[in-house]
Structures are given as C-alpha cells and as structure tokens.
Amino acid sequence: MSDTSTDIGAHPDDAARAPGPRRASTGPSLWAPDTWPVRLLAPLGYWACTRLLMITLLFSLKINATGELHMLYEKWGHQLAQGSYPIGDPTWQYPPGAAFVMLAPRLIPGVNFVQGFVIVMFLADLTVMASLVLVGRSRERSLAGAWVWVLGLPLLLYIPYARYDMLVTAFAVFALLAVRRRPRLGGALAAVGAMVKVWPAFAVFGAPRGRGLWSICLGFAASALALTAIAVGFFHGPFDFLNAQGSRGVEFESLGGTVLLVARFFGYSGTIQYHFGSMEFLGPYVTEISDGLLVLSVLAFCWLLLWRLRARVWNAATTADAALAAVLVFTTTSRVISPQYFVWVIGLGAVCLTFRETTQRAVVVLLVGATALTSVEYPLFFDNVVQGSAGFTLVLVLRNVLLLLAMVQSCVRLWRSTVPRC
C-alpha cells in the first residue's frame, strides 16, 4: 500500500486538523463564552456562587432578614404609588430620587415586592461586576477591583440584598468608570446616585481641573434638575426628608456611639433604643457627642476643600481615590454608621483597585477587614452588643478602629500623591 493512501480509520475532520496554514484567531467574543479566558471566567464563577449563597441566606435565615423590606420599603412604595412621599414619617430620611427605587420592584410582573426588590439589586450587582471585569481586562488596568467586589460584598452576608445601597453604589461606580472618557455622562450618573442617597456626589469631587470638569458639572446639574422636576411634578412632599434628618441622634454603631458603648462598662447610664429609624443612645452626653460629630463633619468638609485647592498632580486613579477618601471622611464622622454603608466603600475601593496607579490598596485591605467584623456585629450577634456583651462590643470597637485607620490612611495617601511638597 502506498504511503499516501488514506487510513481506513481516518475521520473526515482530520484534514481540518492537519498541519498547515490556519485562520488567525479573532480573540474572545462577548457572545462566545468558550473563547473567554480563565482570568475572566474565574470572577464570574465566584460571583455566581457567592450571590446564590447571599440570596439563599436572605430567604432562609430564621431571623427576620427581610423585615425592613416588608415594614418600611414596601410601605413606602405603596405610599409613593399613591403620589405622595412618606410625609411626617421620621424613618424616611432619603432624597427625592429614592422614590424611584421603592417603586421599581412594583414594576416587575409576577413577583411580590420583596422578590422584585431582590431582582433589582441582583441586576445592579451583576452590572457592577460586569463593568469591573470589562474595565479590568485591559493591560493598563487591573482585575483586582472586580475581585474586591466579588469577594468583599459576601462578607456582609445577606445585607446587600436587603437594603437599597447596592443600587446607589452602582451609580457611583458607573460614574467613576465613565468620568474620564465621558465626563458629562459621569456627572449625570453621579447626580442620579446623589438624588437617591447623597454620597455618590463625591464620585466626581476629585475630578481634575479643566474643560472636563465643566462638562462634569453640566451633566451633574442637568441630571439633578431633571430628577428634581420629575419628583416635584409627580409626587407631593419630596423634601420632607430634611425634617427627619435633623432629628437624628447618635447610633450606637457610630464612632461616637462606640465611646458611649465603652462608657457603659464604667457606669454610664444611657440606654440604646429604636429612635428615628435606627438604634440610638438616649441619655446623658448624647447631645454633646452629636454636636461634636457635626463639628467634625464640617471640619472634614473644610479639609476636603483645602485638598481640592492644593491638589496639583492627578493620575488616572486620583478621581476614584478622592471619592473613597471623601466618603470615608463623612462616614467616620457621621452620627450613624449602618452595616450597609460598607457596600459603599467596597464599591469605591473596587474602582480604585482597577487602576494600577491607585494609592488606596492598603486602605482597601483595612476596609475588607472592617467589613468582615461588621457582619459579626450585625446581623450575627446584634442583640449581644445591644445588651452589653464585652466580647462582641470589642468586635464593634475593633471594626470602628479599622474604619478610622482606613480613613486616616486614605486621606494621607491622597494628599501625598496629589499635593506637591513645599
């Protein structure tokens, strides 16, 4: 038999696999998962597994994990559907844009309010993760930010799916990712977030000077005015939330509350009670501590303005670094530090770590540690802290110490990287 004869067992496709000229690879395709590299598939896989666990926890725990959704969010959604904000309700402390978040679950057919809310948060979570992965895959950026979001958020257990802060954080993340190339869009997204929960306005606080800054301001103002006009035109009482904000006291989880928690072991007579939508201290020295925290917030804002005036050096990461520093400053000086606030800093920290030039890596490590301790305090052993358990009070104290260290580190690193030495 000739050497050139065809083997009886040869498959017709063998010819296609034979050595010879091959068509050049077109690279990974969004619509062909089999072409995706492992470095992209890994965060997607971990994200899917962790989110399944988080949602399972939300609906399976014996504690009332969905209580706030039932007792507050669903009630607010019903009132808003009637055309009015929750006027006179001290627990409604949110800007006018929050109305659209409360109404969104009602628009999803075939599900109840809680299920619809979880779907909205799931979509927000998915889009943030996808955005961080898509941005991080380029050579000049990093997937570290996507990993922080994928693995950092589950440290809060079910909380990100039981509060609406995930959606708020999504707007801040999108604003930071868009602001460099499309400043007007970045400003508009930051304004949408700010109209839902104020703090996303800091997403564009650290934008560099120049023509782009004016575009950011224009997009921010136009978006804010448009949302305000819609809120005023379709709902009654959009600014009633300002009355409730002024009445807030000192939540025991805040830094000021931590001082009073420790003071209880030395004879302090104050008590922790549900008051104006949170567990607050009632008793001696609460007013003085509340006023002191307000003063610190004002001083913190003055420092941010000073940084803004003195900053001269911007790199690709500076806007995101400044956003994280600003939010940390106001979180640590706030009279209230709720567990869901850590969704904010995880999201902003994730954006920072997509930039190789970021100064905030050590800060994000501290924040991940603080996030893990937060879940020990709430929801796992919340009652123990309220009742005065020394061990679990220590956990909360350590959490707040890490948060304070993260804030100081963030501000110092931001200043040193942007303000020239004299």
Instruction: Write out the two tokens for 254.
Output: 């805040």
Q: What is the mean pLDDT of residues 176-198?
A: 96
Question: Residue 142 forms beta bridges with which residues?
Answer: none
Are the CB atoms for 260 and 289 separated by under 8 Å?
A: yes
Tell me if 160 sits within 8 A of 126, measured CB to CB: no
* The 3-state secondary structure of 129-141, one letter per residue: HHHHHHHHCCCCE
Q: What pLDDT sits at residue 240?
A: 85
Q: Determine the Cα–Cα distance for residues 194 and 182; give it in Å rounded to an integer.
A: 18
**Closest listed residue to residue 303, CA positions, set 330, 338, 270:** 330
The C-alpha atoms of residue 332 and residue 411 are separated, in whole angstroms, by 12
Q: Is 355 helix (H, G, I), strand (E, B) or coil?
A: strand
Instruction: Reply yes or no on whether the pLDDT at 328 is more than 90.
Output: yes
Residue 132 pLDDT > 60: yes
Structure tokens at 6: 């065809």
pLDDT at position 89 is 87
Q: Using an 8 Å Cβ cutoff, are 254 and 99 in contact?
A: no
Could you tell me which residues come within 8 angstroms of residue 152 by beta carbon, excluding any fewer than 6 positions away?
A: 346, 349, 350, 367, 368, 371
pLDDT, residue 293, reads 94
pLDDT band at residue 274, thresholds of 50, 70 and 90?
Answer: confident
HEC sequence for 180-224: CCCHHHHHHHHHHHHHHHCHHHHHHCCCCCCHHHHHHHHHHHHHH
Q: How confident is the model at residue 253 (pLDDT cuts 50, 70, 90)?
A: very high
CA distance 205 to 323: 7
Q: Is the pLDDT of residue 19 over 80?
A: no
- The share of the chain scoring above pLDDT 70, in percent, equals 90
Q: Cβ–Cβ contacts within 10 Å for residue 228, how many?
A: 17
Give yes or no for a contact between 149 and 346, defined as CB atoms under 8 angstroms apart.
Answer: yes
Between 18 and 138, name the one with better pLDDT.
138
Is the predicted pLDDT of residue 184 greater than 70, yes or no?
A: yes
Looking at residue 84, what DSSP letter applies? B
pLDDT band at 11 (very low <50, low <70, confident <90, very high): very low
Measured from the Cβ of residue 193, the count of other Cβ atoms closer than 10 Å reads 27
Q: What is the pLDDT of residue 160?
A: 96
User: Which element (helix H / strand E) includes 331?
Assistant: helix 318-332
* Mean pLDDT, the chain, integer: 90
Residue 345: pLDDT band by 50, 70, 90 thresholds? very high
pLDDT score of 275: 79
Mean pLDDT lowest among 34-43, 358-367, 403-412: 34-43
**Mean pLDDT throughout 70-98?**
92
Q: Residue 8 corresponds to which amino acid?
A: I
Closest CA to 55 of 155, 128, 168, 157: 157
